[in-house]
């Protein structure tokens, strides 16, 4: 029976990526001067597991590579080697390469073999550098030379030591195995049996004289006795075929034959390094590697969550059958019960929704865990001293959010590292501690997840930003902006220069793309800063991408949904709030700020709208991409959770619309994309005038 091992590959990859994560964080925490014994053991076991698994499942390159890492770690844990910062660094970079190898092996991307070869060489160089004391290996004694060309069989005398059975070895089994090789004559010698009173049934005092008529090599026979080598006396001599020379002995005093070779099976994967020449050469992105780890295919779920789900479904079924029964012969007198049943149903459906969402929720630690490494490497590169603090790693977020928020976060953190935290000398001069701090924090706040990146660096300088923006032609030189508005400029396309600080994140992208990515997730990005003290970037994301809290509004006969996340407030416009700029662009004055007004029916081409004057309708004050405006609608209908149905499945993207949803009556309503609406509005000549002013 052949078993297809590929069914275990998925699990193997998952556990290997996890193991790499464990190794990485262990190495990062490690202080070469004071190596913790148990920590090193953990690292060794992780490497050992990966090596064993990869060899078992046929990934021989990976096994060979990991073997070198394992050997290094083995020497450290046996205290035959000191962990130097060089070996630490080589191990860390080897982890990256190993990650790339695993990713390529799992089918996600190609491998740069030259890189692997170089890294392996480096590892071997460290390993072979006589920093370690050599191990005294048991030398395999040379195989007894069977000069006899034609082997016709073997004569064995097998005498187990009395305690052989205590290791669970049964002489009978061994003899049976021998018999499987060919014809076997067995003679048992009971002469060593003690008398009945001294007889210990747990001991073996029997001895066997065996003639095996089989043309097999001695190695094959040695194999059979391999486990009990040290626990028996064994003489193996070829049967006289052509040569009469043989020494057999039935003697009780058979001594262990010193020439009986010890054979140890060398594990197949050990010192070979097979190189597959067939792979393409392409740089493997570390991000892609980790995307595999969090992979689209499967998800690990806490059993408890599944149990909850089962409970809720159970209740739902009960309520449903109750309602079903009621419906069979319904009479008006049962109306109350019907209502109760329906509201139970609603409660259970709500619970079900929550439970299912819970299943897709994973702790954000899977993303946060990348950062110690990134911060470590970057701060070394930039020669800055930086401490990373992580809070709220257990905060749970939807799996899709986790997959998509990783990259934007990395860019933002890199930004903080690069522009935020000052060089050590500067910090000391400013009276700050030499080591800068970056804090990554995640928490739930009112149905959203909030992620903050705070640094105690130099903060943003609004004047410098404005100057740079003018230089790059993003705003004209006459512009006056508030501090906060200046900060917003860094999110403008074209403001940030494309940077590739390190290989870690690969392509450098501007913050405008980061913001757009976050917006596409239905979230918002804000920035706060105090010059000289530090900055904070605050990201707000919906807890799940499939469901949205929305405000439904009507314009004419049409209903639209505005995401609650974008809404600041809704107001009834009073005549004295209305202003006209340049005679054409409407604004609404709200607490000292002039909000541009967008007439939704104009932007969306709605017929049959009811509001003519601003004061006739309602103004929904929204915020998108750092700007605020008021959207004029006929009426507010209500707030509700809606399921997001993308238009792109069967149609395509529509400007100003982010997706669709199905309302309770089965009809379709469109969900507004607030930044998109604002962009459409800007395209209208009248409102363009407002862009540059307050």
Partner 1 sequence: MSAVSSSESALPYADIGEYMAFALGAEEYAVDILRVQEIRGWEAVTRIPNSPSYVKGVLNLRGTIIPVFDLRQRLGMPFRAYEKETAVIILTILDGEKRRSIGVAVDRVSSVLSSARKHIQTTPNFGAQLNADFIDGLVTANGKLVTLLKVDRLGCFSSEGSGIESELA
Partner 2 sequence: MASILAVDDSPSMRQMVAFTLKGTGYQVIEAVDGEEALNYAKSRNVNLVITDVNMPNMDGISLIKALRSLPGYKFTPLLMLTTESSSEKKQQGKAAGATGWIVKPFNPEQLLSTVKKVLG
Q: Which of 48, 411, 454, 599 forms a contact with partner 2 (CB under 8 A)?
A: 48
**Is residue 227 involved in binding partner 2 (CB under 8 A)?**
yes
DSSP state string for 648-676: TTTS--BTTEEEEEE-TTS-EEEEE-HHH
Which does residue 2 bind out of partner 2, partner 1, none, counting CB within 5 to 8 angstroms by kind? Answer: partner 2
Q: Residue 527: beta bridge partners?
A: 537
DSSP H stretches of helix in 503-656: 511-520, 600-604
Q: Which of 604, 671, 687, 690 forms a contact with partner 1 (CB under 8 A)?
A: 604
Which does residue 226 bind out of partner 2, partner 1, none, counting CB within 5 to 8 angstroms by kind? Answer: partner 2
**Is residue 513 involved in binding partner 1 (CB under 8 A)?**
no
**Which region among 163-171, 219-227, 603-611, 632-640 touches partner 1 (by CB under 8 A)?**
603-611
Contact between 580 and 586 under an 8 Å Cβ cutoff? The reply is yes
Residues 6+ apart with CB under 8 A from 548: 522, 542, 561, 563, 564, 641, 642, 643, 644, 661, 671
For partner 2, what does the binding mask look like between residues 269 and 298, x meaning CB under 8 A?
Answer: xx----------------------------
Structure tokens given for 467:
């100057």
**Is residue 3 involved in binding partner 2 (CB under 8 A)?**
yes
Cα separations in angstroms, 634 against 85, 235, 601: 68, 102, 9
For partner 1, what does the binding mask look like between residues 553 and 592, x meaning CB under 8 A?
Answer: -----x----------------------------------
CB nearer to partner 1: pick between 86 and 645 = 645
**Which region among 71-79, 198-206, 279-287, 651-659 touches partner 1 (by CB under 8 A)?**
651-659
Do β-strands 361-363 and 396-398 pair in parallel, antiparallel, or remain unpaired? antiparallel
**Is residue 198 involved in binding partner 1 (CB under 8 A)?**
no
Structure tokens given for 618:
């309602």
For 606, the 3-state DSSP assignment is: coil
Question: How far from each other are the two terminal CA atoms of the chain, in whole angstroms?
Answer: 77
**Is residue 664 involved in binding partner 1 (CB under 8 A)?**
no
The residues in 49-88 that bind partner 2, with binding defined as CB under 8 A, are 49, 51-53, 55-57, 63
Q: Which of 497, 652, 664, 685 forms a contact with partner 1 (CB under 8 A)?
A: 652
Do β-strands 524-530 and 361-363 pair in parallel, antiparallel, or remain unpaired? unpaired
**Which region among 157-165, 307-315, 433-441, 644-652 touches partner 1 (by CB under 8 A)?**
644-652
Rounded Cα distance, 381 and 78, in Å: 33
Contact between 570 and 658 under an 8 Å Cβ cutoff? The reply is no
DSSP H stretches of helix in 567-643: 600-604
**Is residue 329 involved in binding partner 1 (CB under 8 A)?**
no
Place of tokens 């046929």: 58
The residues in 443-482 that bind partner 2, with binding defined as CB under 8 A, are none
The residues in 150-209 that bind partner 2, with binding defined as CB under 8 A, are 165-170, 173, 176-177, 202
**Is residue 240 involved in binding partner 2 (CB under 8 A)?**
no
Contact between 566 and 574 under an 8 Å Cβ cutoff? The reply is no
Kindly list the residues in this chain that would bind partner 1 in the complex (CB under 8 A).
558, 603-606, 645-647, 649-652, 654-657, 660, 662, 666-670, 680
Kindly list the residues in this chain that would bind partner 2 in the complex (CB under 8 A).
1-3, 5, 7-9, 11-12, 14-15, 42, 44-45, 48-49, 51-53, 55-57, 63, 135, 137-138, 165-170, 173, 176-177, 202, 226-228, 230-231, 262, 264-270
């Amino acid at each position: 029976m052949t078993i297809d091992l590929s069914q275990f590959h998925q699990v193997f990859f998952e556990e290997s990526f996890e193991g790499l994560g464990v190794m990485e964080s262990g190495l990062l925490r490690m202080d070469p001067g004071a190596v913790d014994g148990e920590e090193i053991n953990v690292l060794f076991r992780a490497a050992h597991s990966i090596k064993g698994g990869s060899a078992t499942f046929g990934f021989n390159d990976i096994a060979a590579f990991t073997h070198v890492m394992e050997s290094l770690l083995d020497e450290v844990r046996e205290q035959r080697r000191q962990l130097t910062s060089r070996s630490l660094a080589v191990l860390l970079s080897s982890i990256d390469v190993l990650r790339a190898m695993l990713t390529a092996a799992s089918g996600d991307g190609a491998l740069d073999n030259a890189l692997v070869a170089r890294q392996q060489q480096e590892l071997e160089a460290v390993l072979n550098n006589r920093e370690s004391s050599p191990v005294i290996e048991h030398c395999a004694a040379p195989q007894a030379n069977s000069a006899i060309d034609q082997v016709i069989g073997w004569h064995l005398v097998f005498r187990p030591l009395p305690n052989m059975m205590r290791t669970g070895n049964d002489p009978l089994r061994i003899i049976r195995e021998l018999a499987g090789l060919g014809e076997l004559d067995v003679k048992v010698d009971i002469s060593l049996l003690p008398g009945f009173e001294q007889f210990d049934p747990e001991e073996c005092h029997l001895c066997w004289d065996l003639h095996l008529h089989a043309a097999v090599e001695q190695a094959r026979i040695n194999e059979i006795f391999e486990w009990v080598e040290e626990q028996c006396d064994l003489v193996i001599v070829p049967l006289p075929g052509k040569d009469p020379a043989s020494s057999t002995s039935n003697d009780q005093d058979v001594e262990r034959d010193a020439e009986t070779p010890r054979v140890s099976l060398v594990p197949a994967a050990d010192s070979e390094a097979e190189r597959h020449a067939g792979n393409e050469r392409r740089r493997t992105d570390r991000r892609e590697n980790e995307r595999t780890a969090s992979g689209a295919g499967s998800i690990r779920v806490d059993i408890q969550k599944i149990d909850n789900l089962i409970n809720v479904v159970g209740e739902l079924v009960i309520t449903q059958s109750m309602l079903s029964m009621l419906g069979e012969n319904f009479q008006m007198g049962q109306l109350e019960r019907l209502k109760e049943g329906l509201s139970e149903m609603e409660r259970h459906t709500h619970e079900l929704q929550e439970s299912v969402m819970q299943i897709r929720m994973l702790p954000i630690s899977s993303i946060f865990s990348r950062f110690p490494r990134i911060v470590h490497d970057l701060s070394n590169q930039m020669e800055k001293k930086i401490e990373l603090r992580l809070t709220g790693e257990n905060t749970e977020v939807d799996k899709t959010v986790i997959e998509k928020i990783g990259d934007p976060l990395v860019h933002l953190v890199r930004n903080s590292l690069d522009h935020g935290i000052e060089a050590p000398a500067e910090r000391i001069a400013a009276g700050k501690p030499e080591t800068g701090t970056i804090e990554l924090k995640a928490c739930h706040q009112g149905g959203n997840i909030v992620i903050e990146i705070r640094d105690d660096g130099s903060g943003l300088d609004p004047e410098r930003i404005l100057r740079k923006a003018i230089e790059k032609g993003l705003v004209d030189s006459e512009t006056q902006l508030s501090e906060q508005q200046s900060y917003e400029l860094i999110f403008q396309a074209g403001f940030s220069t494309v940077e590739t600080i390190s290989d870690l994140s690969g392509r450098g992208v501007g913050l405008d793309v980061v913001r757009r990515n976050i917006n596409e997730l239905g979230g918002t990005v804000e920035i706060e800063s105090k010059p000289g003290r530090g900055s904070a970037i605050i990201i707000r994301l919906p807890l799940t991408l499939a469901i949205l809290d929305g405000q439904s509004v009507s314009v004419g006969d049409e209903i639209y949904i505005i995401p609650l996340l974008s809404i600041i407030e809704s107001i009834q416009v009073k005549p004295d709030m209305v202003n006209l700029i340049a005679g054409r662009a409407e604004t609404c004055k709200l607490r000292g700020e002039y909000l541009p007004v967008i007439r939704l029916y104009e932007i969306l081409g709605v017929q049959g709208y009811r509001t003519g004057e601003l004061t006739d309708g309602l103004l929904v004050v929204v915020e998108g991409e750092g700007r605020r405006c008021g959207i004029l609608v006929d009426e507010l209908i209500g707030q509700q959770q809606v399921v997001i149905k993308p238009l792109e499945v069967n149609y395509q993207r529509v400007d100003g619309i982010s997706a669709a949803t199905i309302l309770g009556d089965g009809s379709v309503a469109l969900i507004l994309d607030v930044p998109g609406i604002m962009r459409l509005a800007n395209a209208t000549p009248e409102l363009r005038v407002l862009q540059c002013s307050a």
